[in-house]
Structure 1
Amino acid sequence: MADASRFGMDEVAAFFQDLDDPRSEINRKHPLASVVVIALVAVLAGASGPTAIARWAAFKRGLLESILPLPNGVPCKDVFRRVLMALRPEAFQPCFAAWLRSLRDEAAAETGVERPTLAIDGKTLRRSHDRKNGLGALHSVTAWASEYGLSLGQVACDEKSNEIAAIPELLKLIDVSGGVVTIDAMGCQREVAGAVVAAGGDYVLALKGNQGTLHRAAVAHVLGRWDEGFAGEPVGRLQVDEAAHGRRESRTYIQLEAPKDLPGFEAWRGLRSIGVAISEVVREGKTAEDVRYYISSLPVEPDAKAFAHAVRSRWGIENGCHWTLDVTFREDESRIREEHLRQNMAWLNRFCLSLLKRHPGRDSVAMKRRGCGWSDDYLMEVVRGSTC
């Protein structure tokens, strides 16, 4: 077991060999890569902060000393805390880039999905604020590959800014080539559309009041074509009817070519189509309808499948990522208040969630995480299975 585990951990530690060590040379009793790897596997096993990481490491001393270079034994809580506080998030995350590329390649081969939906959305850790020291709750934007179950990157929003400034920074961190980026109305910005197309991806951006003139023109164009029976120019249409748990839902997707006389048409790089998604839900005899408009670089297809898939897959980040982080990782309850520490822990949570989702077992993410805490063999299987 130890030899096989060491092989897996050597591969994992290699991702962090080039990470600059922020510690003073006189305090470097433990290799930086070993400290980071222990933090990663401890979070996989259920740890939620430096104290829990150190406690788990103490229980697993024999395992860790057999698979990692630890010349001075297992680090204590203060070591994990100092390291995760000192590491700059913008330097820490890129260390995972090669690992993520391998995970994405494996997922593409297994699922057959070569054009994933890359959903970008924000999330707030509501209890991570420190009013006494003027630190607001951590709000960050995450990129989630819905079909793969992979978190590709995360950027924290500046205290005095919002998601509009963070999204372009996130796009610089991730590989969007070949993917379809979906963002809610907050991210419907010309700069975002341009960055996605420049990186070789496509976009489907929700259109609302923040782009008032464009939104009104798009609505008018769709309604005008509707009144004409969609005669003339190409139109894509798809209807999906589903029934489950006493609930019936009918979803209609319509995709039209974007007219060149749309306000600011030339400023939206790659703009090719306008889309509308209409949802009608019937539950307990009551009907609720929702209509959402989008602009997209996707071409109009007769069956509108690519557009419909991107719109529907966007919910993957809410259900598969954010909800799981709150329920299984208890992230929304975190009281970590140091700026870099909370960002690095949030990223470790997201990356560990990706590893757990990539594991082929049929158990829930919560059960897989418990398994990592209960069984050393299972823990090593989750790690090695994602790096071999």
Structure 2
Amino acid sequence: MKLKPKITIADHFLGIEDPRIDRTKRHNLIDIMTIAIIAVICGADGWVGIETYGCAKYEWLTTFLELPNGIPSHDTFARVFAQINPQQFQSCFLDWMKSIQKVTNGEVVAIDGKILRGSYDTNNEQSAIQIVSAWATTNKLVLGQIKVDSKSNEITAIPELLKILELSGCLVTIDAIGCQKEIVRLITQQNADYVITLKKNQGNLYDEVEKLFQFVISTGFEGIEHSTYKTEERGHGRHEIRHYMMLSGIGSRLNPDSVWSNFNSVGMVESVRSLNGETTVETRYFISSLKSNVEQFANSIRSHWGVENSLHWILDVALREDDCRIRKDNAPQNFAILRHIAVNLLTQEKRRKRGIKNKQFLAAMDNKYLLSILALA
């Protein structure tokens, strides 16, 4: 009789339809998916690595998987994940993440895109795939992802991602490409707040906001509700001062026809950076549903910028996403989900004060530690 460790992967992925025809089913779909998820958690970055891990851990895997014909080949892993419906995989992934941890009230959720640089295929004229992800900055969880259509851009992908997320009580941050009325409407429909970067080609709004800040500063903010905040950072020869300013109660002035949902304030960040004797100044403008909380505004901006270090850096350095050459059919999108599962579970494991890469190394060597990571699910 086989022992069953506390692994609930099968429960989360029962909703995925097996894309194979009956005569090709030498291996159970759940066995294939379980080995792939565990292997990526332990550091596998491709189909050969997944097969290698499976063969090395065969005896242990047989304690909870059927494996009627042994460990699948790397070609089998590649073929199956190229066929699996990514929407079904995504849905199962979302259900799993919701079971791990609920997003807390006030959580800053950064929506950001990332190009999978290794997914391009010049022979088939396939450009690199882009994935838009939602990252809970405090809980450090990938909440969901969606692939950008090859003939479109993030503007069409972000609304589709917002529709599958639960954002009530959250504060959503998006770069300038997300400065769209429909995107703002979808956020506010979920009873969430937003802070979105203004883009210069956003009609006249950017110019109006820029002129408004110049005017109120020159007149000493007369008749305008405002608040300010300042941060200063030093390190590695860099000195940066950020001045945050928020103007509230300006909806009737900048949004008279209410075309922007819950447009309550505008924000400005002036960053003065000194590095190696050179000083640069950058000014950004934002629209927001926040009414009057400049520190919350500042925190949301810093949290959004931090997604590069908190998520993208981990994906590139620890999980080697940019080096991955997986590019056939649905495989790139599905492997991206595998990486996000690994990032979430490894990040949520708090007992070992180690970086993601060392956690992967330890999980590959120590089955008990691996089980403690999987128990988070």
State TM-score, norm by structure 1: 0.92
Q: CA deviation at 1:248?
A: 2.1
- Show structure 1 runs of 5+ residues with no match: none
Match of 1:261 in 2: 253
CA contact (8 A) 1:197 1:270 kept: yes
1:348 partnered with 2:338: yes
With over 3 angstroms needed to count, the CA separation of the structure-2 counterparts of 1:8 and 1:210, relative to structure 1, is farther
Distance 2:292 2:17 in 1: 48
Structure 1 match to 2:38: 41
Aligned-pair distance for 1:157? 1.0
Q: Per the alignment, in what secondary structure is the counterpart of residue 101 of structure 2? A: helix
Bigger Cα displacement from structure 2, 134-143 vs 69-78 = 69-78
Q: What residue number does 2:18 align with?
A: 21
Is 1:90–2:90 an aligned residue pair? Answer: no
Q: Counterpart of 2:138 in 1: which secondary structure?
A: coil
Residue 370 (str. 1) matches residue 352 (str. 2) = no
* Structure 2: distance between partners of 1:33 and 1:140: 25
The AA in structure 2 aligned to 1:347 is I
Corresponding residue for 2:56? 59
Residue equivalent to 2:192: 201
In structure 2, how many angstroms separate the alpha carbons of the residues matched to 1:131 and 1:281?
A: 40
Per the alignment, residue 121 of structure 1 pairs with 112
The alpha carbon displacement at 1:382 in A equals: 1.2
From 213, 216, 232, the equivalent of 1:241 is: 232
Match of 2:291 among 286, 299, 317: 299
Q: Does 1:78 align with 2:69?
A: no
What whole-Å deviation, never above 9, does each CA across 1:46-97 have from its counterpart, x for those lacking one? 1112222112101111111102233333322233122201111111111122
- Give the SS at the match of 1:133: coil
* Aligned counterparts of 1:163 and 1:138: Cα–Cα separation in 2: 12
- Equivalent in the alignment of 2:6: 8
TM superposition shift of 1:115: 1.3
Q: Tell me how far apart the structure 2 counterparts of residues 359 and 337 of structure 1 sit (CA, whole Å).
A: 30
Q: In structure 1, what residue type is equivalent to 2:295? A: K
Q: Which amino acid aligns with 2:10?
A: A
**How many residues are paired up?**
374
CA contact (8 A) 1:214 1:263 kept: no
* Whole-angstrom CA distance in 2 between matches of 1:167 and 1:234: 32
Residues 196-250 of structure 1 show CA distances to partners (whole Å, capped at 9, x for unaligned) of 1112211111002130410000111111111121232321211112222332221
| Preserved contact between residue 229 and residue 295 of structure 2 (Cα < 8 Å) | yes
In 2, distance between residues paired with 1:316 and 1:34? 36
Confirm or deny: 8 A CA contact 1:141 1:156 kept in the other structure. yes
Task: Give me the whole-angstrom Cα distance separating, in 2, the residues matched to 1:276 and 1:245.
Answer: 26
Residues 1:139 and 2:130 are matched in the alignment: yes
Query: Is 1:359 paired with 2:349?
Result: yes
Cα RMSD (Å) of the superposition? 1.7
Instruction: Report the CA distance between 1:162 and its aligned residue.
Output: 0.6
Q: Please give the alpha-carbon distance, in whole angstroms, between the structure 1 residues aligned to 2:118 and 2:77.
A: 22
In structure 2, the gaps of 5 or more residues are none
Q: Distance in 2 between matches of 1:340 and 1:210?
A: 34
1:335-381 superposed Cα distances (whole Å, 9 cap, x missing partner): 11203001101111122111111110210111111112222122111
Tell me the distance in 2 between the aligned counterparts of 1:264 and 1:351: 44
In structure 1, the residue corresponding to 2:133 is in which secondary structure? strand
More helix by share: 1
CA pair 229-104 structure 1, distance change in 2 beyond 3 A: farther
Partner of 1:381: 372
TM-score (norm 2): 0.95
Partner of 1:330: 320
1:177 match: 168
User: Can you list the C-alpha shifts for 1:80-124, whole angstroms capped at 9, x where unaligned?
Assistant: 12220111111111112222113332xx6xxxx531111111111
Alignment partners' CA distance in 2, 1:285 and 1:35: 55
**Alpha-carbon shift at residue 325 of structure 1 (Å):** 0.9
User: What is the CA–CA distance in structure 2 between the aligned matches of 1:339 and 1:176, rounded to whole Å?
Assistant: 31
